[in-house]
Structures are given as structure tokens and as C-alpha cells.
Amino acid sequence: MDQVNKKPFSWKGFFLQWEWMLILLFLVVNVINTNLSPFYLDSVGLRDATMTFLDKAFMVFPMVMIMILRDIDISVSSTVALASVVMAHLYTLGVPMELAVVICLAVGAVCGLINGLLIVRFKELSAVIVTLSTMIIYRGIAYIILEDQSAGSFPEWFGFLGWGYIGGVPFILIAFVVMAVLFGLLLHKTTFGRRIYAIGNNPTASRFSGVQVDKIKIIVFMLAGVMAAITALFLTSRMGSTRPNVALGYELDVIAMVVLGGISTAGGKGKMIGAIIAVFLIGFLRYGLGLINMPAQVLMIIIGLLLIVAVMVPNLKPKAKAKGKPPKSQDQQIAG
């Protein structure tokens, strides 16, 4: 885990990092987009485009941590739906909006806590299956609360979250940058972050060296729940109303961004900055292809291909170099 500190600094190694590949890819996407549509490089357009894809990007931060821990959380989109539906329903019942927002965050935290507790208490169950079932349950509760109705007509100030500007910059972009810095510091500059890497590299060794693996896992899953609730706030504000089937399939987009950002699915490797670049990469790709009226389905195929290629390329490289590849069973820990 200390390889960055121990190795002598080399410019070649520095530029061969996956993050530079991403920046290159990002530039390529922008050049292609500019050539495809004359309207692409419009600063107002680009600025407002960030508002449409940044809401789900808040879930990317905790997902990076979860995947470094060798786990996965596919229930986040259902947490978004449940938090959003509870908030809207309470508001229509007469609860003040300020309190409803706080409850929305609390719902997210509780959903994350339940995931974390189940995963820690039942170690023989993989995170895939636990979050798969809570994904169905959370969405199911959202349906029980609102049935096929939608709820909305929030107070004026709530719309600021999704539509507001501060000094000409969208509020959501500012919030995203602040969160990115906070999570980046948390993962890379604190003992908490170092322990996440330690657990991802070797959970057993970490436990024996006194790292409270269970506690850290529960905290990270709770962070995922809270960030899902924050996504719910921005998304609900931007749409002005909510339904139980809101944010359907967001977990796939989030996982795609994290994996594309170079976070190893075998755990223990990856940087926050990679995932952040991937957020803008996919966001601008979507915006650019939308400008030239490319059907959404083509975009689905492109994202699917990117996702698979991004994971496959680093896997193929070490095999060609050296025969001594790590045992497969380690790679399959998450899915097992």
C-alpha cells in the first residue's frame, strides 16, 4: 500500500498511470464532440450540462471506497428513491420542508447502516446478494408509500439545489467540488482512508493488525446511504416531483464511472481523482452525443463497452508480461 512512497519517483511511471489515460480519453471525447456539433463548445451549454449529470455523481465517492474494500453496493439507487419518496410524502403530509430534508438524509443513513450491518454480521453472504435484496426491499417500501402517485410542489427555496447559481456557477457543481475535495482528503490523507486501502489489500492481515474492519465497513456503507440521500435531494429538486421509480438503474451508471475511473474490482487499488475524471468523461460524452441526436440506446452500448474494456485492459497486461498472475479466486471475491 505504500508503493507510492517507497518507489523512487519516475516520470515514466507517473505518466503511465490510468488517470492520464482518462484525461487523454476525456480530451478525445471533447475533440470529437466539438467536431460533431458546432454547439458543443458553448460555455453556458457546458456549464448547464453539468447540472444534469452531477446528481448521481455524488454516489461515486463512497462507491470508490466500497469497491476498494472489495465490496459493492447495488442498492444505492433504491436508497435514492426511498429517501426522495419519504421526504416528498412527509412534506405533503404537512411536515416542514427543512425537517423533511433532514429526515431524507437520516433515511439514507439508516439504509446504509442496514446494508453495512448485514454485510458485517453475515460474512458468508457477499455484498452483491445483500445489497441485491435490500435494493428490492427499499424500492418496494417506496412503492408501498407512494403507490403509483407522484409527490411534489416543493417550496421555492428547495428548487435552488437543482437549479440555483452562485456567482454564475451552478450550485450543484460547487457542492460536487466541495464533496470531491472532502472525500479525496478522507481517502488519501487520513488514517481512515489508509485503513480502507489496507482492508482492501488484505482483510485478514488488517484485522490482525488491529484495524476495526467491521466498524470501517459500516461507516463506509452509511456514507454511501447518506450520499444517496444527497443525490435524492438534488434529483428531486431538479425534477420538482418524485415517483417510486425514480433513479432506476443509477447504480449501473455509478459503478460504471467508478470502474472506468481505474478502481480495481479486486480491491485495494484506485484513486478518487480517477473516478472524478470518469464522471465528467461519461457526462460530457452523454451531453455531446445528445446534441447530435444520437439515440440513448447507442450511448448504453458505448458505456457498456467502455466498462468492460476498462476492466479488461489492465487485466490483460500483467498476463502478457509475467506468467505469475494472482489466483482467480481472489478476483472473484466480490461476486462470490
Partner 1 sequence: MTANNGQKGTLIENIAKFREVGLLGFIILLSVVIQWRNSSFLTLENINDMITNTAILSILAVGMMLVIITRGIDLSIGATLALSGMIAALTVGAFPNLNPILAVLLGTLVGLVSGVILGAIISKGGVLPIIATLGMMYIFRGLTFMVSGGQWVSAHQMPDSFKGIATGSFLGINNLILIAVLIYVAFYYFINHTRTGRQIYAVGSNPDSAKISGINHDKIIWLVYTIMGGLSGLAGVLWVSKFASAQGDTASGYELTVIAACVLGGVNIAGGSGKISGIILGSVLIGIMNNALPLINVSPFWQTGIQGSIILIAVVLNALVKRGVDMNALMRRRI
In single-letter form, the type of residue at position 75 comes to S
List binders of partner 1 among 138-167 (CB under 8 A).
139-141, 143-144, 147-148
Residue 334 found at the interface with partner 1 (CB under 8 A): yes
Instruction: Using CB atoms within 10 Å of the CB of residue 143, give its burial: 0 to 12 exposed, 13 to 18 middle, 19+ buried.
Output: middle
Q: What is the largest CA-CA distance in the chain?
A: 65
Question: Nearer to partner 1 by C-beta: 78 or 237?
Answer: 78
Residue 292 found at the interface with partner 1 (CB under 8 A): no
Residue 331 found at the interface with partner 1 (CB under 8 A): yes
List binders of partner 1 among 242-281 (CB under 8 A).
252, 255-256, 259, 265-266
Three-state secondary structure call for residue 153 = coil
In single-letter form, the type of residue at position 147 comes to E
Q: How far is the CB of 16 from partner 1 (least distance, A)?
A: 20
Residue 186 found at the interface with partner 1 (CB under 8 A): no
Segment interacting with partner 1, rule: CB under 8 A, options 97-105, 151-159, 175-183, 308-316: 308-316
> How far apart (Å, rounded) are the C-alpha atoms in residues 207 and 120?
13
Q: Which three cell numbers stand for residue 301?
A: 452500448
Question: Nearer to partner 1 by C-beta: 101 or 146?
Answer: 146
In single-letter form, the type of residue at position 322 comes to A
Residue 25 found at the interface with partner 1 (CB under 8 A): no
> How far apart (Å, rounded) are the C-alpha atoms in residues 108 and 130?
16
Beta bridge partners of 169: 166
CA neighbours closer than 13 Å in the CB half-sphere of residue 259: 24
Residue 328 found at the interface with partner 1 (CB under 8 A): yes
**Which residue of 27, 28, 102, 305 would you call a contact of partner 1, by CB under 8 A?**
305
Binding mask 54-73 for partner 1 (x = CB under 8 A): ------------------x-
Question: Measuring CA to CA, how many Å separate 214 from each of 71, 118, 121, 197?
Answer: 13, 11, 9, 14
**Which residue of 3, 10, 293, 329 would you call a contact of partner 1, by CB under 8 A?**
329
Three-state secondary structure call for residue 240 = coil
Residue 290 found at the interface with partner 1 (CB under 8 A): no
Q: Which three cell numbers stand for residue 90?
A: 412527509
Q: How far is the CB of 254 from partner 1 (least distance, A)?
A: 11
Question: Nearer to partner 1 by C-beta: 221 or 234?
Answer: 221
How big is the chain, counted in residues? 336
Binding mask 103-142 for partner 1 (x = CB under 8 A): ---------------x---x-xxx-xxx-xxxxxx-xxx-
Q: How far is CA 324 from the centre of its chain?
A: 33
Give the gyration radius of the chain's Cα atoms.
20
Total residues interacting with partner 1, rule: CB under 8 A? 52
Question: Nearer to partner 1 by C-beta: 33 or 126?
Answer: 126
Question: Measuring CA to CA, how many Å separate 277 from each of 12, 18, 257?
Answer: 21, 11, 9
Helix and strand tally (H, E) in the chain?
17, 4
**Which residue of 2, 43, 297, 320 would you call a contact of partner 1, by CB under 8 A?**
297
Q: Which three cell numbers stand for residue 119?
A: 454485510
Segment interacting with partner 1, rule: CB under 8 A, options 91-99, 105-113, 172-180, 303-311: 303-311
Q: How far is the CB of 117 from partner 1 (least distance, A)?
A: 12
User: Contact residues for partner 1 (CB under 8 A)?
Assistant: 72, 118, 122, 124-126, 128-130, 132-137, 139-141, 143-144, 147-148, 252, 255-256, 259, 265-266, 295, 297-301, 303-305, 307-308, 311-312, 315-316, 319, 327-329, 331-332, 334-336
